[in-house]
Amino acid sequence: MKILVTGGAGFIGSAVVRHIIDQTQDNVVNVDKLTYAGNLDSLATVSESDRYKFEKVDICDRASLERVFLDHKPDLVMHLAAESHVDRSIDGPAAFIETNIVGTYTLLEVCRQYWNGLNAEARARFRLHHVSTDEVYGDLEGSDGLFTEQTSYAPSSPYSASKASSDHLVRAWNRTYGLPVVITNCSNNYGPYHFPEKLIPLMILNALERKPLPVYGKGNQIRDWLYVEDHARALYKVLTKGSVGETYNIGGHNELENIEVVHTLCDLLQELVPPSSSQKLDTVNHYRDLITFVKDRPGHDLRYAIDASKIERELGWVPQETFETGLRKTVLWYLDNHDWCARVQDGSYQRERLGAGVKA
């Protein structure tokens, strides 16, 4: 099959592209605008494959999207392109409205036009898989409840509100026009190639540079953590095996307070790169000493937790990594990939967007 992936240069999108190229015989067309979060370095291991193509296109640009569909004739579409950082959505919500809502609308209309023009066999095969977040549900009270596929939406931030809006559009295009869609809502991802504004890579890189480790409020916000390669496997399974019109929640079964995550990271670094091994840490005895509590973000949700029993029951997916095994793999990856991290931090990855090995 030929799979068109929007946002395939992002954190989760690049994991999906690598999974498809490495673990299947399918072809991938990666459609990405290459904002700050799009990094072609994350696709270096697959960019030379003759089953991979790259298109630098904004999903809000309908004419360019229509050209991509006509040129590549995808069998399936996985939609991951989105603005996704909550803090950025609070400081500047306009980009989130444009990409997450208008961009999704534009993609839906291009998909509908394309799907209507297919022959019967291709129409029956076509799917649009919309990838969303558990943040659309708001937060949970107490310690026992879980988000299910029937949980009412109650978004708290401009980011989650824009994703909730895009989910509603996708469902409406299925119900009104019959467009074959599936939706997934996932918990917090972590793993290799994660942009360092997010909690786990930020803590790793700050600790290695002996910078403060900023933790919002008391650090008691609870999240369910999902290893990104487990998520990529789940997304591919939903795309190829999920039932049209259905929603599947994807979680890692790892509920932890943010401060627990930071403590675990500090302890892992203490084991793998102890302070005594570096002159840079001669004033710090333990990475935990770098933790600094900062003012909480506005409207910060306290707890997210996913009930992922539907995808396990219907599609047979379960995460392969525990938080402990996944986090160790993540830390080791960052320790072994200084060049990737340095290029992100100094911005050189953006100055060389269309470098060697990219197939446009």
Please identify every residue annotated as catalytic. Answer: 134-135, 159
Give the C-alpha separation, 253 to 223, whole Å: 10
Which strand ranges, in their side-by-side order, compose the sheet holding 127-133? 52-56, 27-32, 2-6, 76-79, 127-133, 181-186, 247-250
Give the C-alpha separation, 72 to 75, whole Å: 9
Contacts 24+ apart (CB under 8 A), 173-177: 173/108, 173/112, 174/244, 174/245, 177/112
Give the C-alpha separation, 53 to 47, whole Å: 8
Give the C-alpha separation, 170 to 327, whole Å: 33
248, β-bridge pairs:
184
How many angstroms separate the Cα of 71 from the Cα of each of 106, 115, 201, 203? 18, 14, 37, 42
